[in-house]
Structure formats: structure tokens, C-alpha cells
Structure 1
Amino acid sequence: MPGEPRLSTSLSFLAPLQDDIRAVEGMMLAQMEGHHADLRNALDLILKSGGKRIRTSLTLLSGRTFGADPQRLKTLAAAIELLHTATLVHDDLIDGSLLRRGLPTLNSQWSPGATVLTGDFLFARAAVLAADTESIPVIRQFAHVLGVIVNGEITQLFASRCKASRDDYYERIYAKTASLFETSTWSAAVIGGAEAPAVEAMRNYGYQVGMAFQIIDDILDFTSDAAQMGKPVGSDLRQGLVTLPCLYYLEDHTADPDVQPLFQGRCLSDEQLSRVVASIRESHAIERSYQEAERFVHLGLESLRSVPPSPERSALEELADYIVARKL
């Protein structure tokens, strides 16, 4: 496929974090204790379908860079991961997704009402964990980012459907992904007592790699197969979301009759969708999208280099490289 990066997709550099990551997952599960048994079962199901704990790793590494208290740092990581988990529960319901990474989603097994309430409960318990960090700035940021994420979802539902706009796209992926990445790195630096310039450097690093992460997700939506992703190829476009690969394709193929409705803010027919998805997969739009993700990562690494060298900083650099090299 044009433009695929050649970097290693190994996560071996995160091996030193595995005990802490397991502890974070244990803290997340502990939030279900004393509540309805099905809530624990639901979180068990969600954790099994979870990814590689990128946000947890970002939080732990960022805090360790500044010598953050280990318990407060793990509490922060659990709060952020639980918040992310809650957004996945609601996203899967809104999108009608029955699978996530090949495993059944919660909404494929529960009623919409039960699924919404479970997501709400996870939001509430995430807020409790954020409060347990005993950092007013972190609690304030946690509340702020929750509003950013929800506002982004509302905008996506009511204003972004079949809208071909670069500005709209960047605003959407910031709300969806990069806002929580920058919250992870910023909050961890705050917990670690970093000076203001270092806190800002970490915030910018998180923002940049978060933007890159979502762009790669949007590329994989076209380049992966349905079995890998657990959803149809080009599923975002099929739902009316115009992502970066499609935007680049539109720039280079203004005369393609199949994409004309998008220039007018209208959605594509099923026949047009199939042809456009196939065309995007074979176009230079994929390569250009990789280059844009790499540009964001480069900016993030530049910001990170203002932080003193350490094993944790090296791992954050490798994590940034992994983000543009991953296949899933």
C-alpha cells in the first residue's frame, strides 16, 4: 500500500510498564466493587477488547519523567483510561458497532438503555479517580476534557455528516482523540511537579501524537480489512464522516463523478461509496495522510526534546514512532 511506514511496530520498549499497567487495570475493576454485578462483567468484557493502553503508557511515562508519586500517577492513569473506556461504550452504541477488535461490544449484548447507563457509570467512577489525585488543576482539566469530548460527539452527529472540510476534520479529531492524549501528558507532568515550560512541552507532545494517532486510525479504516478492524472497510465514510484520506482524494480528484455529492455537502450512495473507498485505497491520498501523521509526530518530538533526557523520554520518543507505524 502506498506510503506505509517502515518503522517497527514492536512495543518492547514499554515492557518496564507492564506491572503498573496491570495495576491500573486492577484499579479500574475495583471501581465496580460494591455495585451491580453486571457492571463488573461489562467492564471485564470491555477490558478484554481494549487496545494496547496507549493513554495509560503516555500517562505513566510522562509522570515518571518528572518523578511523580507512583500511586497518584497510577490513579491518574486509571482515571484517564476509564474515561476513555466510557467514551468507547457510548461511541459503539451511537455507531451501532457490534464488534470492537473482533470481540462483541457491550451494546451488542445489552439494551441501549443499559449500555448508556453503563457508560454514565464509568464516567462517574473516572471522575472519582480523578478527584483521588488530589490535584485541583487535574480535576479541572478532567472536567474540561469530558466537555470537549461530548461536544465533539454532538457536533459529529449534527454538523459533520458528509461535510468535506479540513478545519472541521481537525477540530473533530482533536475532540475525539488528541484532547485526551494531551490531558494524559499534561496532567502527569502536573502530578510530577514539573515547571510550567515542561508542563507545556508535555501538553504539546500529547496533542501532536494524539492528532497523529487519530489520522493513522483514519488511514487504517481504509487500508485494513474488515476482519482486522471488526467493521467494514471505509466505515467512517459509510457513516458520512469525511476523514483525511478522503479529503486528500477529493483535492486530487475533483472531476471524479462519484465524489461530487461531497462537494455539495451530500452523502454518497451505496454504489458510489464502494467505488470511492476502493479508489482511496489505491490512491496517493494514503501516502499523503501518512506524511501528515508523521508531521504531527515530528512536532511532538521537537517539543519533547526540551525535556531533559531520560529512559522515560526515550520511551516516549519510541511510542511516538510506534503511533505512525502501527497496523491496528
Structure 2
Amino acid sequence: MSGAQSFGLPLDDAELATTVEDAMARVETSLHESVGHVDNYIATAAGHLLEAGGKRFRPLLTVLASQAGPQAGKVNDDVVKAAVVVELTHLASLYHDDVMDEAALRRGSQSANARWGNTVAILTGDLLFARASQLVADLGAEAVRVQAATFEMLCSGQIRETVGPAEGQDPVEHYLTVLAEKTGVLIATAGRFGAWFGGADEATIDLMREYGERIGVAFQLADDLIDLDSDSGESGKTPGTDLREGVATLPVLYARESDDPADLRLLELLASDLTDDARHAEALGLLRAHPAMERARQTTRLWANAAHAALEPLPDGQVKTALALLADGVVERSA
């Protein structure tokens, strides 16, 4: 589609594109102000992942969702602040994730834990969570409650992932629940905050929350596929990090369902210690060629289609089109 480009999103409506771009510039400025600190060492650590870049997917959704309300054509300060809150929360979680994953790379740069050690990385994540809490307090008590509930679910999802499915629980069902909590909930809050502080009615706010959760699951499923199927130059992370750490993402879970004798070696590898470089490389190669990858892509598309379906009650127009394109773009990243 031709038209203005806003953070990789093609927008045919020049006014909407300008509104989004201006708002995202304000978000970026506020993000840099939020990670600042009088201590240069702390400021450098806190700004490390922000400076490394990123898609700014969550604040972009907040800004777009704000245009689904009566204030379309402008983005107020509360929407910008809410967008900063969700991105700071996301950035903080990345510091913690990299410690748990023992990751060496993040966004193509050395991870904070690799550069400064686990203790500094954890404390820096905590600092960013604190900054997000300070900002959300300015948005009112109900916003604080929503943010607290979001943070609780983020932690629940991480715990569920770490512990694994209960005895007798379907591993795929468990994994999708983890994604809804660990990733979907923050993206749902991004959409909810945008519509809310953009002045939308309750039905639209709930619609954007539901859309956000569904696109959030699709987003993480796509990231899991990218992690397995790209090199570090494309993804900014070491390929197969979850595989090495024993985290079974959807392609692995689908591969484990196979009873094809030709998959015996892959299944043996998936059940083994993949911290060994040779075994890890062999498992990654076999998994990339396995039908489980395409099956996982199809599931990703189903979640993106569900996000599309959530948008149905919105009136036709550029905002609805942009949100639909956002869902499509999530899937295309992993194609």
C-alpha cells in the first residue's frame, strides 16, 4: 500500500500519519527523559536498551488506539504519558528476561547482564519499573490499579513459563496461556490506555483491550519463530536462545507431538541438554526444516485473524485500517 510511513506502518491518510509521527516523537523524548539519572553510570545502564532501538510497538498501539475515540486528530499529554508507561514496563521486563535467559545479545547489542552483570541488570529493570509507576500515578488511581494488575499478570506468566505445565495439562494450551499473560496483557493495556485516555467509550476501550491481547499473542508467536528461523543480524538476538535454555516454544511443542520415525533424532535432541553448541546447532537445523514451523506460522495467523475480528465493531476508516495493518505486519515479520 502506498502512503505515508509511520514506524513501518503504511498510512494512506496523511493527517493520521502526521498525528502518529508527532505523538511518537513526543513519546521518544519522554522516554529519554524518563531513563535519565544524576548518576552517569545509572543513566547509562537505564538507557542501554532504549538506545539500542526497538520497534516501539506498544506505544504505537497506544497512540493509534487513542485515535479510535472522539479526540481523533490530536494526541493529548495523558495518552503520551500512558504510552511511555507501557514502553518503560516493557523495557524493564527485558532486563529481567535477559538475566533469566542468560542472553548475550538484545536488539543487536550486548545485553545489560553481559555488560554489567546480573545484579546491575536486575536493579536497572527495577528502576525502570519504578519510573513507570511514578508516571502512571499521574494518570489517576484507576490507571494505577490497571498497571498493577498488568504487572501481576506479567509475573504470573513468567512463573508459569518457568514451572511448566501441570501434570495432565495440554502443553500447547499452557503455552498460549503463558503468552496471553507474559506478552498479551501489556499490549492489551497499551490498547486499553490509548482508547481510555483518548476519550473513547467503554465499549471501544474494551474492544482495544481485546484486540491488544490477541495481537500480543500473535506478536510473541512471531517473535518465537523469528528467534528460531533468523540469524542474529536479523533478529538482534542469538538464534535459538529459548531452545538453548530449554524453553519449549510452539514449534517445539508441535514437533514433540510427532510420531514419525524420521523425527526420532530431533525428539532425542529436544529432550537433551542443548547448552552444548553442537547439539544445539543440530537441533536448530532439524527444527527449522520441520513442518512444525509452518504449523506454528498458521497458528500465528489465526491469532492475527482473531485480532482483526475484534476490530469489527469499529467504524470503517483509516484508524481501523491502520490497526488491521498492524495485525498483518506482526505475522509478516515471521513469514
Q: TM-score, normalised by structure 2?
A: 0.85
Which residue of structure 2 lines up, in the alignment, with residue 4 of structure 1?
none
Aligned mate of 2:53, from 45, 50, 54: 50
| CA distance in structure 2 between the aligned counterparts of 1:231 and 1:195, rounded to whole angstroms | 40
Contact 1:221 1:235 (8 Å CA) reproduced: yes
Name the Cα RMSD after superposition: 2.6
Please tell me whether the aligned partners of residues 86 and 119 of structure 1 are also in contact (alpha carbons under 8 angstroms). yes
Identity of aligned residues (%): 32
Larger CA deviation: 204-213 vs 39-48: 39-48
| SS state at 1:123 partner | helix
Task: Figure out how many residues of one structure are paired with residues of the other and give that number.
Answer: 316
Q: Identify which range, 51-60 or 217-226, moves more after superposition.
A: 217-226
Q: Is 1:63 matched with 2:76?
A: no
Q: Does 1:157 align with 2:162?
A: yes
Which residue does the alignment assign to 1:200? 206
Secondary structure of the 2:47 match is helix
Q: 2:300 aligns with which of 293, 301, 304?
A: 293
Which residue is equivalent to 2:309? Answer: 302
Residue in structure 2 matched with residue 249 of structure 1 by the alignment: 255
Is 1:146 matched up with 2:151? yes
CA distances 1:149-205 after superposition (whole Å, capped 9, x unpaired): 1222233334369x9811221122122211111111112222233223222211111
Partner of 1:11: 9
Using the alignment, how far apart are the partners of 2:117 and 2:252 within structure 1?
A: 34
Residues 76 and 198 of structure 2 are in contact (CA less than 8 Å); yes or no, is this contact kept in structure 1?
no
Q: Which has the higher contact order (CA 8 A, sep 6+)?
A: 1
CA contact (8 A) 1:66 1:193 kept: yes
Residue pair 1:101, 1:230 contacting (<8 A) in 2 also: yes
Match for residue 5 of structure 1? none
When residues 160 and 48 of structure 1 are mapped into structure 2, their CA distance, relative to the original with a 3 A threshold, is farther
- Three-state SS of the structure 2 residue aligned to 1:252 is coil
Aligned-partner SS, 2:257: helix
* Matching of residue 187 in structure 1 with residue 190 in structure 2: no
Distance change >3 Å, CA 24–CA 322, structure 1 → 2:
same
Q: Deviations over 1:36-63 (max 9, x none)?
A: 2323222332112231111111000001
Using the alignment, how far apart are the partners of 2:224 and 2:36 within structure 1?
36
Question: Residue in 1 aligned with 2:24?
Answer: 21
1:80 deviation in Å?
A: 0.5
Q: Distance in 2 between matches of 1:229 and 1:34?
A: 30
What amino acid is the match of 1:297?
A: A
Q: Distance in 2 between matches of 1:27 and 1:60?
A: 14
Please, which runs of 5 or more residues in structure 1 have no aligned partner? 1-8
Aligned match of 1:39 = 42
Q: Residue 124 of structure 2: SS of its match in structure 1? A: helix
Deviation at 1:34, TM superposition (A): 5.4
Matches of 1:253 and 1:64 in 2, distance apart?
A: 49
Q: What are the Cα deviations for residues 206-241 of structure 1, in whole angstroms up to 9, with x where unaligned? A: 111111111111111121013323444322121111
Shift of 1:117: 1.4
The one-letter code of the counterpart of 2:178 is: R
Q: Distance in 2 between the 1:253 and 1:101 partners? A: 37
Aligned twin of 2:234: 228
Task: Give the 3 Å change call, closer, same or farther, for CA 35–253 of structure 1 in structure 2.
Answer: farther
Distance 1:55 1:91 in 2: 17
Letter in 2 for 1:61: L
Between the aligned partners of 2:66 and 2:299, the Cα distance in structure 1 is 28
CA contact (8 A) 2:191 2:211 kept: yes
Residue-by-residue CA offset, 1:40-92 (whole Å, 9 max, x unaligned):
22233211223111111100000121145511000000000000010011111
Question: Taking structure 1 as reference, are residues 279 and 249 closer, same or farther at Cα in structure 2, changes over 3 Å only?
Answer: same
Matching of residues 266-277 of structure 1 within 5 Å: 267-269=272-274, 270=276, 272-277=279-284
Q: Residue 200 of structure 2 aligns to a residue in which SS?
A: coil
1:101 — aligned with what?
107
- Please state whether the residue corresponding to 1:193 is helix, strand or coil: coil
Does the C-alpha gap of structure 1 residues 20 and 39 become closer, same or farther in structure 2, counting only changes over 3 Å? farther
Query: Pick from 78, 82, 97: which aligns with 2:84?
Result: 78
Q: Are 1:185 and 1:206, in contact at CA under 8 Å, matched by a contact in 2?
A: yes
Compute the TM-score of the two structures, normalised by the length of structure 1: 0.87
How far does residue 327 in structure 1 lie from its aligned partner after superposition?
5.2
Write the distance in 2 (CA, Å) between the matches of 1:209 and 1:295. 10
Rounded to whole Å, the distance in 1 between the matches of 2:272 and 2:88 is 34
233-242 or 60-69, which deviates more: 60-69
